């Protein structure tokens, strides 16, 4: 069975399963009300979680019993993730909006305005900025970054999955990281122009998200 081969760590089987099911899953999410970028982001996350060796609780294939088609099972999993995402997004926006309604205070010493966000709110802002960055990142790039950084899939293994030369994978990963950094910085600045964070601060805080 194809799913069993995926769970055994067969990267080519995962690539084949994705090829067979991805379009169907995408149409299912769009029919449920997801935008195209939301569908791409959710599917990149789902396929990343299907890689063996990660958190088994997040891998939808570990609970697959073979009684229905794999694509139907994955469609249920993708739909549940979409609904959870929308609920979480609503809660985060409500909380962040409440914080941002407070006018930034003025520094008595300099007369300049500074950010009024608490550390917890900054973490929420970063989480939203990361979500925004991934939604604006091509689906293939999202999946590649998640596999490489989140699941320790090597560049050589990625090259076999994408049928690319390893040097092209290396360039794609670097360009993907640069795009994410640019989008995250842009979103943070749009939301709170007075918040000053170095990229090292962003990386450290994202680790606590």
- Consecutive 10-residue averages of pLDDT for the chain (209 residues): 87 90 91 86 89 76 88 91 79 53 45 48 76 80 81 84 87 88 83 69 59
- Say what the pLDDT of residue 197 is: 64
Q: Rounded distance, CA 209 to CA 200, Å?
A: 15
Q: List the one residue out of 104, 16, 110, 7 whose CA is nearest residue 62.
A: 7
Mean pLDDT score of the chain:
78
Residue 118, pLDDT score:
53
Q: What is the pLDDT of residue 111?
A: 43
Task: List, for residues 110-167, the tens digit of each pLDDT value.
Answer: 444 444 445 567 677 777 888 888 778 787 888 888 788 777 788 888 888 888 888 8
Is residue 30 a contact partner of residue 39, using CB atoms and an 8 Å limit? yes
* pLDDT reported for residue 107: 43
The confidence score (pLDDT) of residue 68 equals 87
What pLDDT is stored for residue 188 in this prediction?
79
CA distance 176 to 204: 19
Q: How far is CA 22 from CA 16, 108, 137, in A?
A: 10, 56, 17
pLDDT at site 92: 58
User: What pLDDT, on the 0 to 100 scale, is given for residue 99?
Assistant: 46
Closest CA to 136 of 184, 88, 173: 184
Backbone phi, then psi, for 60, in 5-degree steps? -65, -20
Q: Are residues 75 and 25 in contact, defined by beta-carbon separation less than 8 angstroms?
A: yes
- Polymer length of the chain: 209
């Amino acid at each position: 069975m194809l799913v069993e081969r995926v769970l055994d760590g067969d990267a080519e089987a995962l690539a084949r399963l994705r090829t067979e099911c991805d379009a169907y899953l995408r149409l299912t999410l769009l029919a449920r009300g997801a935008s195209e970028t939301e569908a791409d982001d959710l599917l990149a996350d789902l396929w990343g979680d299907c890689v063996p060796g990660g958190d088994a609780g997040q891998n939808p294939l570990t609970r697959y019993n073979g009684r229905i088609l794999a694509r139907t099972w994955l469609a249920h999993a993708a739909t549940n993730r979409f609904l959870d995402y929308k609920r979480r997004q609503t809660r985060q926006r409500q909380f962040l909006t409440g914080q941002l309604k407070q006018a930034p205070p003025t520094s008595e010493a300099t007369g300049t305005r500074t950010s009024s966000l608490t550390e917890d709110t900054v973490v929420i802002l970063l989480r939203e900025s990361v979500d925004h960055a991934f939604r604006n990142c091509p689906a293939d790039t999202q999946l590649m970054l998640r596999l490489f950084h989140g699941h320790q899939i090597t560049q050589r293994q990625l090259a076999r999955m994408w049928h690319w030369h390893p040097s092209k994978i290396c360039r794609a990963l670097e360009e993907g990281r640069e795009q994410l950094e640019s989008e995250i910085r842009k979103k943070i600045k749009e939301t709170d122009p007075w918040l000053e964070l170095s990229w090292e601060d962003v990386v450290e805080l994202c680790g606590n998200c």
